[in-house]
Structure formats: structure tokens, C-alpha cells
Structure 1
Amino acid sequence: MEDCAVSFWIYIGVMSILVGGAMKKFLAFHIGAMPSMMAWLGATLLVERLCALCMPAVLARLILCVSCWLYFTWATPKPLLPVEGKAVFITGCDSGFGNATAKRLDAMGFEVFATVLNLEGEGAKHLRRVCSSRLTLLQVDITQPQQVQQALLDTKAKLGMRDLWGLVNNAGLCVNIGDVELCLMSNYRGCMEVNYFGTLNVTRAFLPLLRQAKGRIVTISSPSGENPFPCLAAYGASKAALNLLISTLRHELKPWGVKVSTILPSAFKTGQSSNTEYWEKQYKNQIQNLPTSLLEEYGEEYLLETKELFHSYAKKANEDLSPVINTIVDALLSPQPQVRYYAGPGVTLMYFICSYLPFSISDRFLQKVFVQKKVMPRVLRKQPGLSLINNNNSIKENMNNSNNNNDSFTKSID
């Protein structure tokens, strides 16, 4: 009887450890962690079955000891690599993730090479003001190969015989949002030029230095590059191309000892995402350049609702960039960095839904979490049986309902 009582309390302890470990992995999981999480759950089920058979107290104690050892061995993070002597090149430091990363890495003791589009801009001035003399600002448009090559020469001159440990590909662009048919071809080309070709320019240029150092490549991408977010086709397509490029590069650089990581953030206020004037300008440019027949079929109110919905989501995006900055630091300094990091609230749930649930569920989820449109295209509204929503009050009411249902799953715009 006493043995059964001891077994019961040890059973409670073992189950707490196993279930706690599984929940910890779930709350911070990325898709690559699913096998280990399933192993935790399998072990939990096994222990539960053994305990149901009223195992002897000695066996229960043994399982408790093994569980504790496994939990603390696997759950305890390994110490990060030392920062001393490490140099990192970061693109897109005018604002957002790039600016915050440059400040964090400089404060940690890295030698930082930060690229900006404007050396006299507010972002560059802020970095000069708050960072140490180790930080070097470089004016670089990553779509211009000659500027990238000049940045490489400047970096090599400053480093001398020292190595370049890391490259953080952060610079990115989203030009307007809208249905595939309504986006201008210049939007598709603009996103691809910066997000794909620009990142490719920088990565190829700095690869010899990174191979020599057996260093790290960290790239900021987007969930929209893997999931079909409505109205983000131009941006998402460029990030999808980038994701495949970086994944291929990861395989090719294994023999060289270079570790490659991709970070996919959730919704954050970065760059132009909260710049109302910028998006108003993009919207007017879209209206002015769409074919008249297409604009008549969809209706200007349809495009207006898309723009307003995006504005409302951008305003509610997370201002605390630390989840992404922390993953960048881990990717640069962890002895075994993750292949992919899913940073920010809600993004892990989104990936679980889109990766493991039926399309009927994941499609509805994506439609609701980004632009839950209520206004039908003008031509469709004229068809019988379809609701007509054509006044500003209705649009605002539907936007408010959408905002209440969706808080943190929209994609950050770099």
C-alpha cells in the first residue's frame, strides 16, 4: 500500500516534468521541433500507462530520475559563443529590425558594419549618437551591385586580417498590397529586386569572407513567403524565392562550416509599415495606373477597403522588436543555431494550422487574420444573391469587427 502511495506521487512528479517539457516546446516551437515534441508526448503516454499498472516504487523512482536528467539536459540552453573579436555586416539599418539589431550587437561588443540608404537620415544619426566607435555606417542600396562591391571593399579594408563572422540580410521592401490582378507590375518587380536580387547581391559578395571565417548567415524573411496571405502576392512571391535560395545555400555551405538561418517574424511595426503618407502615395499611384476597365470592375471602394484594413493591422502591430532581435543574436552566437526561427506572438500557431490542418481550415484562417474583406468587387455586387456593402460606415464597421478578431498574426513588413 505504501509502495502504491509513493508510486502515485512520483507519477505526479514524472507527469509534471514530461507534460511541462512538452508544453514548453509547444509554446516556443517551430516546425522543426515537432519530432522532439512528439517524442515528449510519447514518453508521457508511456509513463502514464506504466503508472496505471501500479508500477513498483523502485521503478517509479528510476523513471523519475531519468526524466529529470533528460529534461534538464535537453531544456537547458547551451552557452553562447564569445562575442570578442567578431564582426557582423547588417543591411537595412535605417529603421526597424536592422537599426535595433545594430544597436544590440554594438552594445554586446560586436564590430558592426551597418548599411543605410541615407547617411544623413534619422536612422543613421541615431546610430551615430547611441553606438560606440566600433560601428561603421555604409551607404548602400543593395539593388546596386557597384555599391555592394564598394561596401565589401570598405569592410575588408576596415577588418584588415580579421574575419567577418556574420551577415544579417535584413533589408526588404513591400510596395503596396492588393489582389494579384490589381497590383502593378512595378510592384512585383520592386519587391523582387530588393528582397530577392538585392539579398542575393550582398550574400554572393560577402560569401568568401564568411567561408573563410566559417561564420553565419542570418536572413529575415516572412511567413508570407510560405503561406498564401491574401493581397500580399507581390511581397510573398519575392520572399518565397528568397526562402528557397537561402535553403539551397544552407545545404551548399555545410562543407564550408558556414551555418545559415532564416527568421520569419510575425507582425511588427518596422520600416514603412506604419508610415501613413507612404501608403497613401502607393494607393494613389495604384489608382492612377490601373486600367480603367479593371478599376470599374472592382470599384475604387474595393481597393480603399484593402488599404484601410492594412492600415488598421499595421497600427496594431507589435512595437517591441526584441523577439526578432533575440533570435538574430541566437542565430549568430548559438553553437548549434536553428535552421528556422519563428519569432513573435501568434506565428507558431499560424504555422501549426497551415502545416498540419486541412486546407479548408488553413485557407479560412489566412483569410481572416490579414485582410478580412467585406466589400465585394463592383461587378459581383450587381449579381443577385450577393450582399452589397458600398458605404464608408459599413466599411469601418467591418474593419472594426475584423480588428477585434485578429491581433497578432499579420506579417511584419521589413
Structure 2
Amino acid sequence: MEDYAASFWIYIGVMSIFVCGAVKKFLTSHIGAMPSVLAWLCATLLVERLCVLCMPAVLARLVLCVSCWLYFTWATHKPSLPVEGKVVFITGCDSGFGNATAKRLDAMGFEVFATVLNLEGEGAKHLRRVCSSRLTLLQVDITQPQQVEQALLDTKAKLGMRDLWGLVNNAGLCVNIGDAELSLMSNYRGCMEVNFFGTLSVTKTFLPLLRQSNGRIITISSPSGEQPFPCLASYGASKAALNLFINTLRHELKPWGVKVSIILPSGFRTGQSSNTEYWDKQYKNLIQNLPPSLLEEYGEEYLLETKELFQSYAKTATEDLSPVIDTIVEALLSPQPQVRYYAGPGLYIMYFICSYLPLCFGDKFLQKLFVKKKLLPSSLRKHKELSLNNNNNNINDMNKSNNSFTKIIN
């Protein structure tokens, strides 16, 4: 009887540890870590079956000890690396994530090299005003290789014998406000130049410093590089190329001890996204440069609705950038940073739907989540109206024929 009671309480202890561990992993993990969560749940089920099959008390105690070790090894928070002496290079600090990250890291004690497009712009002035003397501002257009090389020389000169710990690839561009067919080739090229080739240039240029320090590369990408968001073809294509490059780099840099992470943020209000004049300018540029035949097929009303939907989405996006900034800090200081981080609301459910449910569910979800179009292109509307009129005429002709047939019978 006593052995049974001991086994029962050991069983309760083991199951409590495994269930609590699984719940904690589910609550704190990202969708990308789903396999580890499933593995934990499978281990829980295995232990439960073993205990049900009257596991001997000695073996049950051993399983309890192993369970405790696994729980405290995998499920508990690991201490962060020290900040002291760490130097980080960040691109795109005029506004948005880059500006906020530079301020946060400077306040934490990092030495920060922050690139801006304009040293006399509002973003640069703000950083000078609020940050310490540890922060260095560099004027860099990442699409210009000469400026990137000069930034490397300036950074090495100031570093001296010290190492560069981290590179945060943040600079990016999104100029798209229309369907893939409507997007101008200049939009595709512009996004690729900044988001892919610019980031590629910076990463390759600074890699020797990062290999020397066994440092970190953190790249801000986008879920649109993995999911087919409507009206984001040019931006999404550039981010998809970036994702593949960074993931390949991650494999290749493992022997060098350089850890590589990608951060995928949800919708945030950054840069020009809430600027009405910016969207009006993009819309006018699109109207002026579209071929007349294509503009006629889609119609100005369709394009105008798309622009207004983009503006509305930007206005409702959150201004609190802390989920992304916190993730960047974690990727810089975690002893074992994750390969992928999902930062912001709504991403977990989106990736779950798009990854594990049938394709039609994912497509519907993305359409409802982002650009909720109501208008059809002009040509489709006319075709639909014509079909409706033809159907009505056919119904009227049938009614007339029935009436005539009735009169003849009578």
C-alpha cells in the first residue's frame, strides 16, 4: 500500500513537471519553435503511459529526477550576456525600428554606430540630443558601395583593437501600393536595391569583423517575404530574397561561431507609413506611369481604393515598437539566440493558419487581415454587370414566352 502511495505521488510530480513545462514552452515560444513544443508533449505522453503501466518506484524516482533536470535546463530563462564592451552597428536609424533600437542600446550601455541617410535630418538630430557620447552617427546610403566601405573604415578606425559584436540590418524600403501587375518596375528595382542588395552589401562588408569576434547578425525582414500578402509583391519578393540569403549565411557561418537571426515584425507605424502626402505622391506617380490600357482595365477607382486601404491600415497600426526592440536586444544578448523571431501581435495565429491549415484558409485570412478590397477592377465590374443584364434579359424573354404560350392555350 505504501509503495502504491509513493508511486502515485511520484506519478503526480512527474506529470506536473512535464505538463507545466509544455504549457510554459507553448506560451513563451514562437510558431517557429512548434516542433520542440510537440516533442515536449510527446515526451509527456510517453512518461504518462509508463507511469500508468505501474512503473517500479525506483525507476519512477529516476524519471522524476531526469524530468526536473530537463525542466530547469530547457524551460527556465537563461541569463543574458553582459553588455559591457559590446559594440553594435545598426543601419536605417533615421526613424522607426533603427532609431528606437539605437536609443535603447545606447541607454543599456552599448557602443552604437548608427547609420542615417541625412546627418542633418530630424532622426539624426534626435539621436544626438538624447543619446550619450558612445553613439556615433554615420551618413550611409546602403545602396552605394563606396559609402558602405567608408562606413567600415570609419568604424574600424574608432574601434581600434576592440571587436564589433553585432550587426543589425534594419534599413528597408516599401513603395508598393498596388497589385503585382500594377506595380511599376521602378518599385521592384527600388525594393531589391535597398532590401536585398543594400543589406547584402553591408553584411558582406562587415562580415570579417563579425567573424573575428564570433558576433551576431540580426536582420529585420517581413512576413510578406514568406506569405503572399495582396498588393505587396515588390516588397515581399525583395524580403523573400533576403530571407534566403540570411538563412544560407546562417549555415555557412556556424563554423565561425557567428550566430544569425531573422526578425519578422507584424504591422507597426514606422517611417512614412502614416504620412498622407507620401501615399498621395505614390498614387499620383502610379497613375502617371501606368500604361493607359492597363489603367483603363483596372480603373482609377480601384487604385484609389487600394491607396486608401493602405493609409487606413497604416493609421491603425500600433506605434509601440517595443516588441521589435525587445527582440533585437534578446537576439544580441541571448547565449543561444533563436534563428527566427516573430515580433508583434497577430503573427502566431497567422503562421499557424498559413502553416497547418489548408491553403484556402490561409489565402482568406491574408485577404481579410491586410487589404480588404471591395471593388473589382473596372473590366471585371463591366463584365459582371453585362452578365447580370443578359441574365435579366433572358429571364424577361422567358416570362414573355410563357405569357404568350398561356394566351395561346387559353
Counterparts in 2 of 1:142 and 1:383: CA distance versus 1, 3 Å? same
| CA distance in 1 between partners of 2:387 and 2:41 (Å) | 47
| CA distance in 2 between partners of 1:181 and 1:279 (Å) | 19
Match of 2:40 in 1: 40
| CA distance in 1 between partners of 2:68 and 2:320 (Å) | 35
- What one-letter code is carried by the residue in structure 2 that aligns with 1:242? L
For the pair shown, which has the larger CA radius of gyration, 1 or 2? 2
Q: CA RMSD in A?
A: 2.3
Contact 1:380–1:386 (CA under 8 A) maintained in structure 2? no
Question: Which protein has the bigger helix share?
Answer: 2
Match of 1:155 in 2: 155
Counterparts in 2 of 1:149 and 1:301: CA distance versus 1, 3 Å? same
Residues 237-289 of structure 1 deviation map (CA, whole Å, 9 limit, x = unaligned)? 00001111111111222222211111111111111222222112111111121
| CA distance in 2 between partners of 1:338 and 1:387 (Å) | 54
| CA distance in 1 between partners of 2:386 and 2:121 (Å) | 50
Contact 1:381–1:387 (CA under 8 A) maintained in structure 2? no
Counterparts in 2 of 1:7 and 1:124: CA distance versus 1, 3 Å? same
The Cα of 1:351 is off from its aligned counterpart by 1.7
- What one-letter code is carried by the residue in structure 2 that aligns with 1:347? L
286-295 or 87-96: bigger deviation: 286-295
Contact 2:219–2:261 (CA under 8 A) maintained in structure 1? yes
Residues 142-201 of structure 1 deviation map (CA, whole Å, 9 limit, x = unaligned)? 111111111111111111121111111000000022110111111111101100111111
Which runs of structure 2 are paired with 1:113-132 in the superposition (5 Å)? 113-132=113-132
| CA distance in 2 between partners of 1:385 and 1:293 (Å) | 20
- What one-letter code is carried by the residue in structure 1 that aligns with 2:172? G
SS of match in other structure, 1:82? coil
| CA distance in 1 between partners of 2:35 and 2:62 (Å) | 25
Match of 2:345 in 1: 345
The Cα of 1:23 is off from its aligned counterpart by 3.0
Please tell me whether residue 184 in structure 1 is matched to residue 184 in structure 2.
yes
Match of 1:232 in 2: 232
309-318 or 171-180: bigger deviation: 309-318
Please tell me whether residue 372 in structure 1 is matched to residue 372 in structure 2.
yes
Match of 2:166 in 1: 166
- What one-letter code is carried by the residue in structure 1 that aligns with 2:70? L
Which runs of structure 2 are paired with 1:235-254 in the superposition (5 Å)? 235-254=235-254
Give percent identity, aligned residues only. Answer: 85
Structure 2 unmatched runs, 5+:
389-410
Counterparts in 2 of 1:299 and 1:11: CA distance versus 1, 3 Å? farther
Match of 1:206 in 2: 206
The Cα of 1:18 is off from its aligned counterpart by 2.7
Which runs of structure 2 are paired with 1:33-182 in the superposition (5 Å)? 33-53=33-53, 63-182=63-182
Match of 2:363 in 1: 363
The Cα of 1:69 is off from its aligned counterpart by 2.8
Contact 1:91–1:169 (CA under 8 A) maintained in structure 2? yes
Match of 2:404 in 1: none
| CA distance in 2 between partners of 1:209 and 1:265 (Å) | 27
Contact 2:176–2:231 (CA under 8 A) maintained in structure 1? no
SS of match in other structure, 1:383? helix
233-242 or 23-32: bigger deviation: 23-32
230-239 or 349-358: bigger deviation: 349-358
Greater RCO, CA 8 A, separation 6+? 1
The Cα of 1:11 is off from its aligned counterpart by 4.9
- Corresponding residue pairs, total: 388
Contact 2:97–2:325 (CA under 8 A) maintained in structure 1? yes
SS of match in other structure, 1:366? helix
Contact 1:176–1:283 (CA under 8 A) maintained in structure 2? no
Residues 99-140 of structure 1 deviation map (CA, whole Å, 9 limit, x = unaligned)? 111111111111100001111111111111111100001111
SS of match in other structure, 1:89? strand
| CA distance in 1 between partners of 2:277 and 2:9 (Å) | 63
Per the normalisation by structure 2, the TM-score is 0.88
Match of 1:265 in 2: 265
The Cα of 1:372 is off from its aligned counterpart by 2.1
Counterparts in 2 of 1:60 and 1:346: CA distance versus 1, 3 Å? farther
| CA distance in 1 between partners of 2:178 and 2:384 (Å) | 26
Match of 1:193 in 2: 193
| CA distance in 2 between partners of 1:315 and 1:60 (Å) | 57
Counterparts in 2 of 1:380 and 1:216: CA distance versus 1, 3 Å? same
| CA distance in 1 between partners of 2:209 and 2:55 (Å) | 59
- What one-letter code is carried by the residue in structure 2 that aligns with 1:180? A
Counterparts in 2 of 1:7 and 1:277: CA distance versus 1, 3 Å? farther
Contact 1:29–1:348 (CA under 8 A) maintained in structure 2? no
SS of match in other structure, 2:374? coil
SS of match in other structure, 2:383? coil
- What one-letter code is carried by the residue in structure 2 that aligns with 1:236? G
Counterparts in 2 of 1:65 and 1:257: CA distance versus 1, 3 Å? closer
